[in-house]
Structure 1
Amino acid sequence: MMKKNCLIILSLFFAHFLFSQNENADAIFEKFIKEFTLEADGSTSYREYKQLKLITQFSFNRLYGETFIIYNPEFQNLKINNAYTVMADGSKVITPPNAFNEVLPRDAAFSATANHMKEMVVTHTATEMGATIFLDYTLTSAKGYLPGFMGNVLIQESSPIAELEVIVRIPSDQELNHRMIGLRTGPEIKIEANQKVYAWKFNGVQASPKEPLQGKYQLSAPRLLFTTAIGVAETINWLTNQQAFELQINDEMKAWTDNLRSKQTEEIETLMTIQKAVVENIVFERYNPEWLAYRARTPEEIWKSNGGNKLEKTLLLATLLKYANFNATPAIVGPKSLFDEKAINLTIFDDFVLIVNTKSFGTIYMSAVEISNQSLEYSLAQNIFIPLSKGISRAPVEPMKMDNKINIKGTISFNEELKPSGTMEVELTGANNPFLLLQNDKGKFKSLISNKMIKDDDAISIKNSNVAKSELLVKVESTESISDNNGYYSWQLPVITGGFEKWRIAYLDKTRQSNLFLPYPIVEKYSYTITLPLDYTVINKRFNERLKNNVGTVSVEIKPKGNQIEINRELKLNTQMIYQIDYNEFRDMINFWLDKNLSTVVFKKKD
């Protein structure tokens, strides 16, 4: 009797939890199964079964009217096991044959190498409020599609899940390395015939948050990682064991590179010129290299086709730089927190860069698909880099950690026409240091100062610039007078637009369901001394306040005196991940920093 009562209580609690979850949901997955199988012959399969209850019109008009399944017919086979809809009145409608249509995936558009890819579009019929969609399909992959059996499964979907099951099957004589992140739960393990079966079961899974600033990898989301692969060396050897990684170059490519080199006198100019040519002139085919099992064409083939995916463009750039006497190594990039050197999982990696050793400026990390203002190791400091050298085992690389600082000391004076001018001493480090931009064209630094206060390139003097830190002396001058607003004038302090300003955080909600992920930790400091004409007086009141908490520090000091004012502002964010428990303190800091009253000089003419 006691056991029966406990079951009733648990059932009522579960029903109440689901009701609270579903109260504002557009749909609910009543049941979701993700099943991964490794066969004895090395082939793998993925089966997905979902039972989706539609609650609102939005759910079937915009969210779940169709299901999209991308696959590579050269390696994979798709089988639809079952597809139907049960309408609100209980009638069952089988999905008709014309509801299954194969199209080219959007990211494979304009790509000659990926135009064989398929995207099965399953259009769900008989949808209405209260209807339930049923879909069951299996995607089978040939042996060798990946270097091992591996998966990266988020334990959440865009709508709540009443019952979720993740099943992994492997031959009974093999071992599975698995790691659950964000949840304290383990699998049920059993033997079925010749297979070892791991099963994770979840009830009442919340919908994925729809909040901004969750980061590229959604690192705060619960996930399951599993793999049968062993170490880094074996996996990277599998990836690099192809002709493309020999980085061979033909005569046409040599002549093209020689022509670019002949026009440059400095090593850094040659490096950036070759990078720019590859980024801008070789078409970026945006499909995921995993679609083609990481099989890459040779640099010569990429060159002749004038296009490639991110991996291929990285190999092409490495080949051209190698010929130009640079030591350039391709590397695969992924989040360090998900990386396990003893059980590597290739599915956590989704980016490629080049690690280039230069004689003048040391090591520079750069992309083959976009041009950045700075070497990438600072903005990617929370990632791991694994060099991709054919036949050579290279240890994973962790970027050097460094403060990402902005330090501005400005002296500004207003003339009788109320036009500001003066000097700014600028110190920029880490991710905030536009080192590559300054080497390419220092005039572009004008776009990194707000208020359009730099008239020409001669106003910018570079005192020192290397990958770690740049120091500049900038003459600022505005041709525009401050406008009169009923006898009062206001002027916003200039800022570096490449720091916190670039993140475009203008508003933060009062509450948050997920951790917040910043691009990188930052220290941003401005010290201004501003002088007005003698017949004007500052309106700003004296102010000095500082907030310090687990997230960091923010402080503002305002010291007015007659026609002068000194303003010191500093924002220090210690960590990239703002945990939910610290969100309110973070919000208080940012609201304080964003208060325009504390970054605006207000003045008027003396009575």
Structure 2
Amino acid sequence: MLKDSCKILLIISLLIISCTIGVSAAEGLNSLITNSPSQADYPEAGALVLKDYIVADYTKKEAEIYQDNIIKIFNKRGIKKFGEFKIRFDKSAESIEITEAKTIKPDGTVVKVKPKDIKEITPPSANNSVYSDARIKVVTIPALEPRSIIVCKYLRKVKKATINGEFSLIERFQYTEPIKNKKLIVKVPSDKEVNYRTKLMDLEPIIKREGEAKVYTWQKEDIPAIVPEPAMPPLMNVAPVVELSTLKSWSQVIQWYNGLIDNQYKVNDKLKTKIKELTKAAKSKEDKMIALYNYVTSQIRYVGLEYGISGYKPHTAIETYQNKYGDCKDKATLLIAMLKEIGVKAEPVLINRSWNPDLEIVSINQFNHMIVYLVNEDKYLDPTNNGTMYGVLPGDQGKKVLLPLANKLAQTPIMAAKLNQSIVKQEVSLKEDGSAVIDYLEEYTGVNDYIFKDIYSRYTPKQQELIIKQGISRGFASANGVNPIILGVDDLNQNLKVTIPEMKVRNYAKSMGNLLALSPMRFPVSLAQIVASEKRIYPIYLSSTSDIVRRVEIQLPQGYKVNYMPEEIKLENKVGKLSASYTKENNKIIFDFNLKINKQEIEVENYKLAKELLGQAGVVVQNQILVEKK
């Protein structure tokens, strides 16, 4: 009888506890709905991150990183931004478990995420990443509307550390939406030393012991949103971050990486024969290097594959050559092996394509891409992307890198502006009625060559022609007979060139009584758009220098003379150099324009100089020349 009474009391107690928890949870939800800030409190925001908690526990055999996110949606922008929760992970070393995902509607209704709304995809960015095992867990959030609240919690299990017994973490403390409460908790074994630092914010951790663990906690409240600006640096270079690692020196990373390389650079007879075939017509050693680079870049296609060791260990050169595909590290390894065969010393380079880490904290997570370094030539090559000419680094200039075989840190060079040209030339035969016949030329070098080749290579020849015709119509609305000849789109030995012979433009000059008014520049300088605002919060990040060249030669009709030409413009400052001149030779007007931007990144303190330089370039576009009948 006593036992039965005890059982009844226990059941009643459990029911009371269960009801209490249910009531507490319901009260919590109601509090979120009624007491959380509104759009009126954050008029510029699309959403508010109410809670962003991360607990990284490295005391377990398999590290566990638990993330707890609560987000309030304010408007359509917020729905668009958070309608899908995207969690990036490395499939070879990590697993993601969604522990809770739901929407709390403004009336308190809870709509849970269904299993069919959770998918795993391969990111497009894997095309250029060292992480060929990169995946994204996509959670589609249901029933979203303004004033609803998203709850998304998940557990990341790290099945194996990249470097055995070591770990590192980088966490951003500012987003493009405001944050109410952000917390990072890191638990480590008490005997493990952790190197850490905060960047771009003053925030020290609270450190305490919990049994056999040492616990670091960083917490910050009421964090404003990053205000996006045109051509701003990557968010990781402008946002406050916490970085930590148990690694003490880069020599540990170098030792680990060199341990991965076994027979990766060996070549067999078939590969040797191919190398001889590719280089037999070469007249110099550099010609041989270019031939091998062009082969790997254009003929070994990129494919994202699953590898061991968290995607860092490349296949052997022999395997990649046989397969005719590979990821960035495979293509780099094959090129290094082929170059070694002709006596060229080449090494792998670990680099970050997404942002530019300063490498003050030792961490393998600082890198996500691999390229090649030519030791004696002091030149960097990236054979990953088809369309990148020998020696051009489209997005990886001025970045700190690790050369594991050379056992050193280095920095990739920034190409001189004169190597990144965008050239437009026009030979104009002006008629008395204001019409003109124009021989038109566009040519690109360096990074600009890569950009336009990349664009055009996505389309058929007919589509390429249409793109050019649409571009020409912006400068010459009445143009006809536009028959472009496009060269070099798929040729790594030739810069991209577009010519349009004898293009006819009906209203090239505007008739004003006995005067003809004409604008030689025609096409605006796209860079001028980034200096529209009076002030700047962040630097202007251009990724490369540039040299914009325009030359227009205008043959006047018989019996006409110059009535007015604008004054010459010359301006030079820390940002770059601008010149625009108008000269007359016999019966011809020659307009020369040159804008050099000598900086890859323009600092905020130099924004006024950039605004002055690009503002003046914009004025040149508006300038007109007047000619009259004698």
Q: TM-score surpassing 0.5?
A: yes
Q: CA separation of 1:402/1:153 partners in 2, compared to 1, >3 Å: closer, same or farther? A: same
1: distance between equivalents of 2:112 and 2:413? 58
Say if 2:71 and 2:151, in contact at 8 Å, map to a contact too. yes
| Bigger Rg over Cα | 2
The letter of the residue matching 1:384 is K
Paired residue for 1:460?
none
Q: CA separation of 1:140/1:40 partners in 2, compared to 1, >3 Å: closer, same or farther? A: closer
Q: CA separation of 1:159/1:378 partners in 2, compared to 1, >3 Å: closer, same or farther? A: closer
2: distance between equivalents of 1:196 and 1:272? 53
Q: CA separation of 1:283/1:477 partners in 2, compared to 1, >3 Å: closer, same or farther? A: closer
Q: How does 1:418-497 map to 2 (within 5 A)?
A: 479-480=502-503, 485-487=509-511, 488=516, 490=518, 492=520
2: distance between equivalents of 1:67 and 1:228? 30
Paired residue for 1:242?
260
2: distance between equivalents of 1:102 and 1:95? 12
1: distance between equivalents of 2:78 and 2:428? 58
Say if 1:108 and 1:114, in contact at 8 Å, map to a contact too. no
TM-score (norm 2): 0.71
Say if 2:231 and 2:530, in contact at 8 Å, map to a contact too. no
1:384 corresponds to 2:400: yes
Give the secondary-structure state (helix, strand or coil) at the position aligned to 1:241: helix
Q: CA separation of 1:340/1:415 partners in 2, compared to 1, >3 Å: closer, same or farther? A: closer
1:394 corresponds to 2:407: yes
Q: What displacement does 1:153 show?
A: 2.1
Q: How does 1:95-174 map to 2 (within 5 A)?
A: 95-96=113-114, 98-99=115-116, 101-107=118-124, 119-146=136-163, 148-174=166-192
Q: Which residue, 4, 8, 25 being the options, matches 2:45?
A: 25
Q: What displacement does 1:316 show?
A: 1.5
Q: Which residue, 64, 67, 92 being the options, matches 1:45?
A: 64
2: distance between equivalents of 1:409 and 1:103? 45
Give the secondary-structure state (helix, strand or coil) at the position aligned to 2:147: coil
2: distance between equivalents of 1:374 and 1:117? 28
The letter of the residue matching 1:31 is K
Q: CA separation of 1:405/1:453 partners in 2, compared to 1, >3 Å: closer, same or farther? A: farther
Q: CA separation of 1:347/1:246 partners in 2, compared to 1, >3 Å: closer, same or farther? A: same
Give the secondary-structure state (helix, strand or coil) at the position aligned to 1:595: helix
1: distance between equivalents of 2:412 and 2:301? 29
Q: Which residue, 88, 102, 106 being the options, matches 1:84?
A: 102
Q: Greater CA deviation, 373-382 or 195-204?
A: 373-382
Q: What displacement does 1:521 show?
A: 4.1
Q: How does 1:313-324 map to 2 (within 5 A)?
A: 313-324=331-342
The letter of the residue matching 1:38 is Y
The letter of the residue matching 2:72 is K
The letter of the residue matching 2:359 is D
Say if 2:584 and 2:590, in contact at 8 Å, map to a contact too. yes
Q: How does 1:299-310 map to 2 (within 5 A)?
A: 299-310=317-328
The letter of the residue matching 1:319 is A
Q: CA separation of 1:34/1:285 partners in 2, compared to 1, >3 Å: closer, same or farther? A: farther
Q: CA separation of 1:320/1:201 partners in 2, compared to 1, >3 Å: closer, same or farther? A: same
Q: Which residue, 596, 602, 606 being the options, matches 2:625?
A: 602
1: distance between equivalents of 2:125 and 2:447? 32
The letter of the residue matching 2:540 is L
Say if 2:230 and 2:530, in contact at 8 Å, map to a contact too. no
Give the secondary-structure state (helix, strand or coil) at the position aligned to 2:319: helix
2: distance between equivalents of 1:224 and 1:288? 30
Q: CA separation of 1:238/1:20 partners in 2, compared to 1, >3 Å: closer, same or farther? A: farther
Paired residue for 1:462?
none
Q: What displacement does 1:331 show?
A: 0.9
1: distance between equivalents of 2:389 and 2:520? 26
Alpha-carbon RMSD across the aligned residues, in angstroms, is: 4.7
Q: Greater CA deviation, 308-317 or 186-195?
A: 186-195
Q: What displacement does 1:284 show?
A: 0.8
Q: What displacement does 1:189 show?
A: 2.2
1: distance between equivalents of 2:280 and 2:268? 18
Q: What displacement does 1:355 show?
A: 1.4
Give the secondary-structure state (helix, strand or coil) at the position aligned to 1:297: coil
Paired residue for 1:368?
383
Q: How does 1:324-363 map to 2 (within 5 A)?
A: 324-334=342-352, 338-340=357-359, 343-357=361-375, 362-363=377-378
1:285 corresponds to 2:303: yes
The letter of the residue matching 2:538 is S
The letter of the residue matching 1:125 is P
Q: How does 1:553-564 map to 2 (within 5 A)?
A: 554=578, 556=580, 558=582
Say if 1:30 and 1:163, in contact at 8 Å, map to a contact too. yes
The letter of the residue matching 1:355 is Y
Q: CA separation of 1:378/1:132 partners in 2, compared to 1, >3 Å: closer, same or farther? A: closer
Paired residue for 1:193?
211
1: distance between equivalents of 2:541 and 2:308? 26
Gaps of 5+ in 1: 1-14, 438-446, 458-469
1:36 corresponds to 2:56: yes
- Pairs aligned (count): 545
Q: What displacement does 1:299 show?
A: 2.1
Say if 2:132 and 2:305, in contact at 8 Å, map to a contact too. no
Q: What displacement does 1:321 show?
A: 2.1
Q: CA separation of 1:348/1:214 partners in 2, compared to 1, >3 Å: closer, same or farther? A: farther
Gaps of 5+ in 2: 1-34, 454-467, 476-481, 488-494
2: distance between equivalents of 1:71 and 1:334? 17
Q: Greater CA deviation, 217-226 or 404-413?
A: 404-413
1: distance between equivalents of 2:428 and 2:126? 55
Paired residue for 2:251?
233
The letter of the residue matching 2:533 is K
Residues 339-390 of structure 1 deviation map (CA, whole Å, 9 limit, x = unaligned): 336x4222222332211257xxx3332112124346246974421232243x
Q: What displacement does 1:327 show?
A: 1.7
Q: What displacement does 1:271 show?
A: 2.0
Q: What displacement does 1:399 show?
A: 4.0
1: distance between equivalents of 2:263 and 2:232? 34
The letter of the residue matching 1:121 is V
Q: What displacement does 1:314 show?
A: 0.9
Give the secondary-structure state (helix, strand or coil) at the position aligned to 2:232: coil
2: distance between equivalents of 1:378 and 1:73? 28
Q: What displacement does 1:201 show?
A: 1.8
2: distance between equivalents of 1:93 and 1:419? 66
2: distance between equivalents of 1:327 and 1:207? 47
The letter of the residue matching 1:171 is P
Q: CA separation of 1:304/1:293 partners in 2, compared to 1, >3 Å: closer, same or farther? A: same
Q: What displacement does 1:88 show?
A: 1.2
Say if 2:304 and 2:327, in contact at 8 Å, map to a contact too. yes
1: distance between equivalents of 2:156 and 2:241? 21
Q: Greater CA deviation, 80-89 or 570-579?
A: 570-579
What is the aligned-residue identity percentage? Answer: 18
The letter of the residue matching 2:193 is E
Give the secondary-structure state (helix, strand or coil) at the position aligned to 2:411: coil
Give the secondary-structure state (helix, strand or coil) at the position aligned to 1:276: helix
